[in-house]
Chains A and B, each alone.
Chain A
Amino acid sequence: MSGSLFLTLILNGLAIGMLYFLVAVGLSVIFGLMHVLNFAHGSFFMVGAYVGLAVFRRFGNPAIGTAPTWSFFLAMLAGALACGAIGYVVERFLIRPLYKRPLFLVLLTIGLILVIDESVKLIWSPNSQGSVIVPGLAGTVQIGDQPFALYRAFLIGFGLLMMGVVWWVINRTKIGIIIRAGVQDAGMVQTLGINVREVFTLVFAFGAALAGMAGMATAPFMGVFPQMGGEFLLKAFIVVVMGGFGSPVGTALGAIVLGLTEQFAPWLSPQWAGIAPVGMMVLVLLLRPEGLFNLSGRRAG
């Protein structure tokens, strides 16, 4: 393997890993804090892509799938806001009454997948949408003898920025202290005068918003289609299981490990590449059964 190919594989792994991080971090913190396994998280991701695409196309030429670069950032924001709003409503009015019935919560979020996915098909058609080209981020840069898509370089930079934002919120703000404490013992946080339920809603909405933003960020990478939610949900679960529920740092690490695994596995062994992500998850669990950075389930002591 040439040095430039090796570097390109690493960069590709990082780029896809950043998308996995954006989808999985909400899933991880939501489970860590509220013990809700949100199967509809992938659907938020997909809705973000569709809403974002609608905004993107408003400002451009749908026939060739392009629009001004600034409208792409507006589209990501729109995807995030739409999913944040949906997440707020879902938590506040559907999930909140069921916190004491975990099985019902599983059924609810699975039911939401059907409702959201079918609604998207009704509104936008069940077919895959055309390609999405962001003019300012199109093209490639050369790494040695290997071309590397500029958009993937953008994804790495944007992903690192979002990791930084999430890290800052979790580690440097009062809401972050509440979240970290709540992951350990939400009841104890409540006795300190903090309305944990409001924090739950906020975190759920924020997690959904990040997933929606990731949906639009994925659009130029692999298009927009109704099944994209399910594909990314599975990847997000693998990331969260590897990283440890409730830990954004673990999620970041898990996402990068998964991204790199997906890039290197086909090169190392094409016939095993399909199961490499699950194989990596099994390996991580064998070495660290609690995940790379598990915070959830640790009682205040």
Chain B
Amino acid sequence: MSEILQVKDLHTYIGQFHILQGVNLTVEQGGVTCLLGRNGAGKSTTLKTIIGLLAPKSGTIGLAGGGAGAGPALTNIGGRPAHQVARLGIGYVPEDRGVFVDLTVEENLRLAERKRGDLAAKKDWLVKLFPDLERFWQQKGGRLSGGQQQMLAIGRALVPENKLLLIDEPSKGLAPIVVEQLAGALKELKRQTTIVLVEQNLWLAAAVGDRATVLDDGRTVWAGVMADLMASPELQNRYLGVGRAG
């Protein structure tokens, strides 16, 4: 299987704080790669550095087809501004969902169009995946529930043709039943695109994840198949803190 993203020895500072101190992450084409770790391990910072909201101090972020040609060779996109990274086909769903509260659902989705007609072409598929979006089409984003906002945030990342989605802790603050719906949607999505999923909810990560990379103190400490991590209480205990990180 070919790699779509390869992050090597990534170092990122926020102000004077050295947050990422050597993150390595390989994402293969298709499926879900989970990025796991305790609070403060550097998961969200990794996604922000990949999308271009934070500039790396050193290291590389190789994206397949990120260069002028559309070939499979990896091109270093580290340090490029976010809008350029996004236009290479990367969708980003931040931890706070990034829903614009004064824009309607339709306007939130239209904002993500890279060319006229993107939304019209995807609308039927999107509302089938997330039926609430159609029900609240003309409602302001701020009037949606947390779960509906999450559906909108993910739906928005699907409006353009993205080859890679970076989704930051989508289950945060959601009721268990909504998390189950989310798992169903992510399973459907991973058949069509590649997803990097930051998640504290180990149940959701296990339900949808194919591979996993674990960070601790800003460094990659483990990478492998999700099933291996789930089968090893010792690994879970060492890196995630059993019962807490779950």
Binding site for B on A (CB under 8 A): 174, 177-178, 180-181, 184-185, 187-196, 295, 298-301
Shortest CB distance A61–B (Å): 51
Query: What is the bound-complex CA distance between A189 and B92, given in angstroms?
Result: 11
CB neighbours of A196 from chain B (8 A): 83
Say which one of B5-13, B95-103, B122-130 lies at the interface with A. B95-103
Does the CB pair A190–B149 fall under 8 Å? no
CB neighbours of A184 from chain B (8 A): 100-102
- Check: B40 CB closer than 8 A to any chain A CB: no
- Check: B56 CB closer than 8 A to any chain A CB: no
Known contacts A184-B101, A193-B87, A300-B101; is-contact A174 B92 (Cβ 8 Å): no
Known contacts A190-B83, A191-B51, A193-B87; is-contact A300 B96 (Cβ 8 Å): yes
- Check: B114 CB closer than 8 A to any chain A CB: yes
Query: What is the bound-complex CA distance between A196 and B102, given in angstroms?
Result: 18
Binding site for A on B (CB under 8 A): 51-53, 81-83, 85-87, 92, 94, 96-103, 107-108, 110-114, 142, 149, 156, 160
Query: What is the bound-complex CA distance between A55 and B142, given in angstroms?
Result: 48
Closest 5 CB pairs of A and B: A193-B86, A190-B82, A188-B98, A191-B92, A181-B100
Number of residue pairs across A and B with beta carbons under 8 Å? 76
Query: What is the bound-complex CA distance between A185 and B110, given in angstroms?
Result: 16
Known contacts A180-B102, A191-B53; is-contact A300 B97 (Cβ 8 Å): yes
Does the CB pair A181–B103 fall under 8 Å? yes
Does the CB pair B81–A300 fall under 8 Å? no
Does the CB pair A194–B111 fall under 8 Å? yes
Does the CB pair B160–A193 fall under 8 Å? yes
Known contacts A184-B102, A300-B98, A300-B101; is-contact A177 B83 (Cβ 8 Å): no
CB neighbours of A174 from chain B (8 A): 110-111, 113
Does the CB pair A193–B114 fall under 8 Å? yes
Query: What is the bound-complex CA distance between A189 and B156, given in angstroms?
Result: 12
Q: With CB as the reference atom, state the residue of chain B lying closest to A193.
A: B86
Does the CB pair A194–B101 fall under 8 Å? no
Does the CB pair A188–B112 fall under 8 Å? no
CB neighbours of A189 from chain B (8 A): 111
Does the CB pair B86–A301 fall under 8 Å? no
CB neighbours of A177 from chain B (8 A): 103, 107, 110-111
Known contacts A191-B51, A192-B111; is-contact A180 B103 (Cβ 8 Å): yes
Query: What is the bound-complex CA distance between A189 and B160, given in angstroms?
Result: 14
CB neighbours of B110 from chain A (8 A): 174, 177
Known contacts A190-B82, A190-B83; is-contact A181 B111 (Cβ 8 Å): yes
CB neighbours of A295 from chain B (8 A): 102
Which has the most chain A C-beta neighbours within 10 Å: B52, B96, B98? B98
Does the CB pair B92–A301 fall under 8 Å? no
Q: With CB as the reference atom, state the residue of chain A lying closest to B85.
A: A191
Query: What is the bound-complex CA distance between A295 and B92, given in angstroms?
Result: 24
Residue among B52, B96, B107 making CB contact with A301, cutoff 8 Å = B96
Does the CB pair B102–A298 fall under 8 Å? yes
Besides the known contacts A194-B83, A295-B102, A300-B97, 14 further A-B residue pairs in the complex with CB atoms under 8 A apart: A181-B103, A184-B100, A190-B81, A191-B51, A191-B82, A192-B86, A192-B112, A193-B83, A193-B86, A195-B81, A195-B83, A300-B98, A301-B96, A301-B97
CB neighbours of A301 from chain B (8 A): 96-97, 99, 101, 142, 149
Shortest CB distance A132–B (Å): 40
**5 A-B pairs, CB-CB below 8 angstroms?**
A180-B100, A181-B107, A184-B100, A195-B81, A301-B142
Query: What is the bound-complex CA distance between A187 and B98, given in angstroms?
Result: 10
CB neighbours of B52 from chain A (8 A): 190-191
CB neighbours of B102 from chain A (8 A): 180, 184, 295, 298
CB neighbours of A298 from chain B (8 A): 101-102
Known contacts A177-B110, A181-B100, A193-B114; is-contact A188 B81 (Cβ 8 Å): no
Query: What is the bound-complex CA distance between A30 and B83, given in angstroms?
Result: 21
